[in-house]
Structure 1
Amino acid sequence: MDLTVVWAFLIAFAVFMYVVMDGFDLGIGVLFPSFRVGVERDSAMNAIAPVWDGNETWLVLGGGGLFAAFPLAYAVVLPATYPLIIAMLLGLVFRGVAFEFRWRDPGHRAFWDIAFAGGSIVAALAQGMTLGALLQGIEVVDRSYAGSWFDWLTPYTLLTGLGTLAGYALLGSTWLVWKLEGPAQDHARRMAVRAAVATLVLLAAVSLYTPFLEGQYFARWFAMPNVLFAANVPVVTVIVAFYLFRTLTGKGKHEAAPFWLSLALFLLGMAGLGISMWPYVVPSSLTIWDAAAPERSQAFMLVGVAITMPLILAYTAWAYWVFRGKVGHEGYH
């Protein structure tokens, strides 16, 4: 355990927090066209209104931390995925602008609804495809990206993009099951079942595809004694999936449980990602130690993170606590 490992876990934590917290925001945008115009759409948007902009703090922390703690990885990964990163940022911009102007410009609300949904879909796809591009490998020569502009565009990245899109839709729909009431909640529950099926099918496809991308992936999952540990991830995933469907379709009116079980699926996916990649930050090319900043720089930045991260966690927890109630039929907390 050294500062490089500490920073790797800090960035992984920031990325997981972003995926979890902005994931259900994006998921609601993905599902937005399926809700009826009027109170249903207003209620869905108000379910995330108090927290959506703060959630993206984790994206800044993850990206900034990668640049500061692992500058070589930042310098390799970004040129390899520039089109995806640009698409993601534009999607987030359109989504944010649409979120605000939808209320301030009711005469063009239909346009802003399209921008909100479109921006969410583009951002979710771009994030998933970026992950796929990283996992399938980035060509590195002399510590620099040596590939072409469209190396990221493959069937595997399309699969990871669709999987992320479905996963975010699952998070968004289960969040709405928790936060809404009446017909809107019933609709969200139906969408959650469909999103859960799509997520699990795509998760299985990605999980079966990934070990055959790199020899090290296959060894991590199937070679002894690694398989004794790695096998726990799919087993637990099946158990979580069973209880997720039970809470969504069973007789009991579970509201919060589906969301927490959906988060558990993402956590298991993150664990599987760690099994495949560790200790590489750019698979088969750069380990975390190859890409790390000098130790003194890491120590200096760690002091700042030790101060700011508890503050971020505190105000995030406070915001969620204050707006812990349901969104009523009139569309407000």
Structure 2
Amino acid sequence: MIDQLVVLTAIGLLGLAIFLYVLMDGYSLGIGILFPFIENPEHKDLMINSVTPLWDGNQTWLVFGAAMLYACFPKAYSSLLTMLYSPILLMLIALVFRGITFEFKHKEKKFPKIWDWTFFSSTFFAAFAQGLILGAFITGHQVFSLDGQGARLVWLTPFSVITAISVVCGYALLGTGWLIYKTEGELQQKMRVLSKHFLVAVTLAMIVVSIYTPLSHPDIAVRWFSWPNIALLSPLPTMTAVAIVYLWHLLSGDDENRVFFVIMFIFLCGFIGLAVGLWPYIIPRTMTFFEAAAAPRTIRFVLQFAMVSFPLLLAYTFHAYYVFRGKVKLEDGYD
């Protein structure tokens, strides 16, 4: 029982780290994805300024999650890295170029269009790669039960491409919400218009994933649609639908404080729904968390460090967002 509790604690920290990364780095990736829709150079500088003090800290959650996966669930880490090597490598290369762009865009003024294109392409491919990984993860056993060179591209399926496009749209939606929260005037109004378009795309994507997942995994269909589960779980899609309608209402008005948080709530509902459907598998239909877990003694050792570093990361995150609160300005960055 104690050993199970140790594993469950590690699962909770891993899941929370992944979710925090998706939210926090998601909107900064979304800002880059939005660049082609913006023509005014000053607006682009505002978009960059809104996230410059925060983006590197946001990526820390990816490092924390990867470390937890490697230390606590090494079998899953090995399988994921082996079968998803190409999209993971694409993501890491794109994130490196995204970081280079952040550092040089303000300092190198000779080739602004090149830096704008680099920023967009690096954020787009980072988000697209994460969507490919998500699609392969949901597909589960169809990817990870295969061995050999013939399986190297099995993660590249129509469904994984759909999820990749969905993640790109989702991050763009997060980016619009962040910019509505942090900017004013013409740029903010532009984000309201774009946000509606991306909200429609994300809603359609959630419907597709919600239909495909139970169809491809009959046990997930049983979990969601058998009695009494359907009654117990129905509040989740209901809250998601209500949040989507409410967000559309907010975007049609002049509210600038609640939009971003409602978008985050929609992401939370989607994350919980995915977790409910796939539990207890860390690799769907292939490997459970408990099968992939390291020895309890190892996990306890890792948790000793995690229980110290996790609160410190949270404290740093809250402090950074508190310091850089308020509207972003072109001259100084923040009010």
In 2, distance between residues paired with 1:107 and 1:37? 17
3-state SS in 1 of match to 2:111: helix
Residue 130 of structure 1, CA deviation: 0.4
1:59 aligned residue (50, 62, 77) = 62
Counterpart pick for 1:41 among 41, 44, 47? 44
1:194 to 193, 197, 208: 197
Deviation string 1:253-288 (CA, Å, 9 cap, x unpaired) is 211211000000100011111111101101111111
Residue 232 of structure 1, CA deviation: 1.8
Q: Provide structure 2 residue ranges, at least 5 long, that are not aligned to the other structure.
A: none
| Structure 1 residue 329, shift from structure 2 partner | 5.2
Runs of 4+ in 1 over 3 A off after TM superposition: 138-141, 144-147
Offset at residue 229 of structure 1 (A): 2.2
Q: CA deviation at 1:37?
A: 3.5
- Aligned partners of 1:318 and 1:331: how far apart in 2? 19
Task: Normalising by structure 1, report the TM-score.
Answer: 0.96
1:317 aligns with 318
Mapped to 1, the partners of 2:89 and 2:273 lie a distance apart of: 27
User: Quick one: distance in 1 between partners of 2:290 and 2:147?
Assistant: 18
For residues 151 and 93 of structure 1, the distance between their equivalents in structure 2, rounded to whole angstroms, comes to 26
In the TM superposition, what are the counterparts of 1:1-333 in structure 2 within 5 Å? Answer: 2-138=5-141, 139-140=143-144, 148-250=151-253, 253-328=254-329, 330=331, 332-333=333-334
Q: Which amino acid aligns with 2:100?
A: V
Structure 1 unaligned regions, length at least 5: none
Instruction: Name the % identity.
Output: 39
1:115 CA drift (Å): 0.7
Task: String of CA shifts for 1:68-108, please: whole Å, max 9, x gaps.
Answer: 00000001111111111011111111111111111121102
CA RMSD in angstroms comes to: 1.4
Hey, what's the Cα distance between the residues in 1 that align with 2:212 and 2:13?
A: 28
CA distance in 1, matches of 2:144, 2:266: 32
TM-score (norm 2): 0.95
Measured after TM superposition, the shift of residue 332 of structure 1 is: 2.3
- Give the SS at the match of 1:281: strand
Deviates further, 151-160 or 10-19 = 151-160
SS at match of 1:104: coil
Equivalent pairs, count: 329
1:203 CA drift (Å) = 1.2
Instruction: Decide whether the 8 Å contact of 1:46 with 1:327 is kept in 2.
Output: yes
